Amino acid sequence: MVSIKQDIRIGFYVCHCGHNIASMVDCPEVASYVEKLPGVVLSRDYKYMCSDPGQELIQKDIKEFDLNRVVVASCSPLLHEHTFRTAVAAGGLNPFFFHMVNIREHDSWVHTDRKEATAKAKALARAAIRRVAHHKALEVKQVPVNPDVLVVGGGIAGIHAALTLANAGKKVYLVEREPSIGGHMAKFDKTFPTLDCAACILTPKMSSVGAHENITLWSYSEVVKMDGYVGNYTVMVKRKARFINEDLCTGCQECVANCIYKEPKFTDEFNEGLGKRKPVYIPFPQATPQVVLIDPDVCLNFKRGVLTDKCKKTCVEACGDRKAIDFKQKEQFTEIKVGTIIVATGFQTFDAKRVLPYGYGVYPNVYTAMEVERLVNASGPTSGEVILRDGRQPKAIGIIHCVGSRDKKTNRWCSRVCCMYSMKLAHLLKEHTGAEIYNFYIDIRAPGKGYEEFYDKLNEEGVHFVRGRVGEVTDWGMTPEEEGKLVIRVEDTLAGFVRRIPVDMVVLATGLEPQADAQDVRRLFNMSCGTEGFFLERHPKLAPVNTFTDGIFIAGCCQGPRDIPDTVAQAGAAAAEAMVLIDKGHVEQEPNTAYVLPDCCGCKSCLPLCPYTAITFDEATKKAVINEALCKGCGTCVSSCPSGSIAQNLFEDEEVFSEIEGVLAD
């Protein structure tokens, strides 16, 4: 017979939860059983404890019966622990004198025998009664939130999030790795399904970012270090050397025109390698900031990236009075303090070389979708003329879907946008060339608004859709009309036979992948990622922009492949979530944190174990110290301390052991 301290007065409530619990657990029986347990002053069963009347009942009882502990046996704490703690607090009692028992997910929903279910409910209730007696009064911590926001990534997601927050009056730092913001969207020609010109809808937003008084735009910069906790992040940003003084450069591009290289010679990354640029260049005409930069790997004034100063520097001459070129510029490190961070680092396209049968990199006229975007773009390397690498104009084009998607050998997932962009490219290519266009697909995925209608439109335009995953693209012919062409051999599964289709150009609809450095980035920001490598959201349905680290949000393709409408929606959502924290001004922390007891011997075993880097070593006292704000109460350090010198609020030894005893008793 266990004894409970004399002054413990427990109120116990068992919820029917409609039929959810009552159908399998005999609630009145549990209530009457618990009534007899030591320490229990009252024991009730009620249909819906979480409802208003239910909560009011608790508040009334606390006052009337002078309860100092409350236990509710109902559903999962994940759902209503907060509800009941609030009710208990409203009744005048410290909310942490409340304990919740899950007799729904843990009991009623997993049993088929009423007797067994009821016995388990009794055992769980018994355990809770014993435990709650040991509960201590705890205070929810409040941590102030710095109102500034860091947005990492200047694609459409980052741009939209930054503008939303800036328009709400928040100060935003937008850090972008490339020399200009715009991301992948800046490379597109037209966007589906409306065929809006990507640059036309993007550049106004880019300009707003550049001009906004609340946005500090740091392009050609990267985050290198992040420390801190929600509301109080300290971030180190590396500003890479452009060798141009951003404040002095007017974007006139006289330096480019007067570069010692008369003709562009070097691979133009923005144009996917299809065009050339000079060592001093602006990535694309609408770049924001409208500032040039110098590539030290190819500029004659450098050798292997090191300044030699051997060039005539006709660019400096052309710049004249503006004096914007600074060859001695070094990369700079700046530290900023923000309260919330939105990570919108986007995606990378699948490397088509990995699918050898399609011949990318082997046959010159096999292109990736992104290359075609630049090809058909009026500001692209061929001014929008579809001219192949060997100079020809295509009369037949094959677009192969699912390259690097839906494939166990490369990426298992569906990249979501490829069917739509393949159709868009089919339309654009047909418009530009009048060629016969074939789309080779496994399934047509057109789920968005106006997407199915777009597919209709393509069918009406006479684009051929062949259902069959292409096996191989070859350059040998079996008939005279196949000579000199790329032959696509595919089973037309709907028609029921194999076909050989000679084309001039093959377009590979490459899938979306996490960025190459996604693992480094996620570790930098203390985020998790899924098995595919995309950043992990807190809940796939109910919290798609939150991460498991409070104060850090994700938006856009870095979380998973998605189209522009969804990306913008997510960016807005992330901005809203950040605003919740900023406008509230403070954050409440669950007090289930671990704390170090005085008998810590300073062995430092716990330091590397903390997944949240919350433990540090105080050199002065030679003891471990836990940062309450960072601690998430995982319990790793508590269980691993060799001398048992770490305890955890809400999971003290007495609390846990009494719970175990309670379950095993009887």
Residue with tokens 């974007």: 251
Q: Between 188 and 465, whose beta carbon lies closer to other proteins?
A: 465
Residue 471 near residue 357, CB atoms below 8 Å = yes
Please name the amino acid found at residue 360: Y
Nearer to other proteins, 115 or 409 (CB): 409
Tracing tokens 């090809």 back to the chain, one arrives at: 375
In terms of CB distance, is 317 or 472 closer to other proteins?
A: 472
User: What is the nearest approach in angstroms of other proteins to the Cβ of residue 623?
Assistant: 52
- Per-residue DSSP letters for 66-123? T-SEEEEEES-HHHHHHHHHHHHHHTTS-GGGEEEEE-TTTTGGG-S-HHHHHHHHHH
Options 71, 162, 343, 490; binder of other proteins; rule CB under 8 A: 490
Stretch in the footprint of other proteins (CB under 8 A) among 234-242, 319-327, 375-383, 406-414: 406-414
The answer to whether 507 and 513 have CB atoms below 8 angstroms apart is: no
Please identify, using beta-carbon distances, which residue of 304 and 408 lies nearer to other proteins: 408
472 near other proteins, rule: CB under 8 A: yes
Size of the site for other proteins (CB under 8 A): 27
Per rule CB under 8 A, is residue 364 in the interface with other proteins?
no
Which of these ranges, 112-120, 149-157, 288-296, 463-471, lies near other proteins under the rule CB under 8 A? Answer: 463-471
Instruction: In whole angstroms, give the CA distance from residue 126 to residue 312.
Output: 87
Shorter beta-carbon distance to other proteins: residue 469 or 538: 469
Return the number of the residue (300 or 442) whose C-beta is nearest other proteins: 442
| Beta bridge mates, 438 | 398, 464
At residue 181, φ and ψ (nearest 5 deg) are: -80, 175
At 658, list the tokens. 């009494």
Q: Which is nearer to other proteins, 6 or 497 (CB)?
A: 497
User: Tokens 């990306």 sit at which residue?
Assistant: 567
Residue 539 CB partners (closer than 8 Å, separation 6+): 546
Stretch that binds other proteins, among 44-52, 336-344, 488-496, 539-547 (CB under 8 A): 488-496
Q: Which is nearer to other proteins, 476 or 520 (CB)?
A: 476
Instruction: Please identify, using beta-carbon distances, which residue of 495 and 609 lies nearer to other proteins.
Output: 495
Task: Report how far Cα 536 is from the mean position of its chain's Cα atoms.
Answer: 6
Q: Which is closer to other proteins, CB of 210 or CB of 471?
A: 471
47 or 469: CB nearest other proteins: 469
- Of residues 36, 328, 409, 541, which one binds other proteins by CB under 8 A? 409
| Closest approach of other proteins to the CB of residue 495, in Å | 11
Nearer to other proteins, 5 or 408 (CB): 408
* 495 contributes a contact to other proteins by CB under 8 A: no
If one asks whether residue 224 binds other proteins (CB under 8 A), the answer comes out as no
Can you tell me which of 339, 346, 468, 662 binds other proteins, judged by CB under 8 A? Answer: 468
Least separation in angstroms between CB 340 and other proteins: 41
- Token pair of 468, please? 């069959």
- Only one of the segments 193-201, 495-503, 521-529, 531-539 lies at the binding site for other proteins (rule: CB under 8 A); that segment is 495-503
The amino acid at 595: Y
Q: For the chain, count helices (H), then strands (E).
A: 15, 36
| Least gap, CB of 469 to other proteins (angstroms) | 4
d(CA 435, CA 107): 65
Is 471 an interacting residue with respect to other proteins (CB under 8 A)?
yes
Return the structure tokens found at 257: 């025109």
- Binding other proteins (rule: CB under 8 A), the pick from 262, 408, 449, 539 is 408
Beta carbons within 8 Å of 242's beta carbon, 6+ residues apart: 179, 220, 291, 292, 293, 294, 329
The encoded tokens of residue 46 equal 């009620």
Choose, by CB under 8 A, the member of 137, 356, 609, 664 that binds other proteins. Answer: 356
Counting Cα atoms < 13 Å in the Cβ hemisphere of 2 gives 21
514 DSSP β-pair partners: 347
CA distance readout (Å), 572 to 158, 159, 160, 417:
10, 10, 7, 20
Least Å from the CB of residue 366 to other proteins: 14
- Applying CB under 8 A, the span of 176-184, 354-362, 571-579, 583-591 interacting with other proteins comes to 354-362
The least CB distance from residue 499 to other proteins, in Å, is: 9
Within residues 16-35, the interface with other proteins by CB under 8 A covers none
Region 431-450 residues binding other proteins, contact defined as CB under 8 A: 442
Nearer to other proteins, 59 or 474 (CB): 474
Stretch that binds other proteins, among 141-149, 381-389, 431-439, 475-483 (CB under 8 A): 475-483
Between CA 499 and CA 502 the distance in angstroms is 10
d(CA 206, CA 218) in angstroms, rounded, equals 13
Q: What is the dihedral of CA 381, 386, 391, 397, to 10 degrees?
A: 140
* CA-angle at 612, arms to 535 and 649, nearest 5°: 130
Asked whether the bond before 502 is cis by omega within 30 degrees of 0, the reply is no
- Candidate segments 331-339, 448-456, 487-495, 619-627, binder of other proteins by CB under 8 A: 487-495
354 binds other proteins (CB under 8 A): no
491 or 628: CB nearest other proteins: 491
**Binding flag, residue 351, other proteins (CB under 8 A):** no
**Which of 62, 115, 104 is CA-nearest to residue 80?**
104
406 binds other proteins (CB under 8 A): yes
> Judged by CB under 8 A, which stretch of 6-14, 164-172, 277-285, 485-493 contacts other proteins?
485-493
Interacting residues with other proteins between 121 and 160 (CB under 8 A)? none
Q: Which stretch binds other proteins (CB under 8 A): 134-142, 225-233, 320-328, 468-476?
A: 468-476
The residue assigned the tokens 């016969």 is 436
Q: Which amino acid is at 197?
A: C
What's the CA gap between 347 and 344, in Å, rounded? 9
Select the residue interacting with other proteins from 212, 395, 469, 538 (CB under 8 A). Answer: 469
Min dist CB 490 to other proteins, Å, is 5
Measured in residues, the chain has a length of 666
What is the distance between the alpha carbons of residues 623 and 617, in angstroms, rounded to a whole number? 6
Q: Can you tell me which of 196, 254, 326, 407 binds other proteins, judged by CB under 8 A?
A: 407
Distance from C-alpha of 136 to C-alpha of 10, rounded to nearest angstrom:
14
Task: Determine the Cα–Cα distance for residues 393 and 371; give it in Å rounded to an integer.
Answer: 16
Q: Which residues bind other proteins (CB under 8 A)?
A: 356-357, 362, 402, 406-409, 442, 467-472, 474-476, 478, 489-493, 496-498
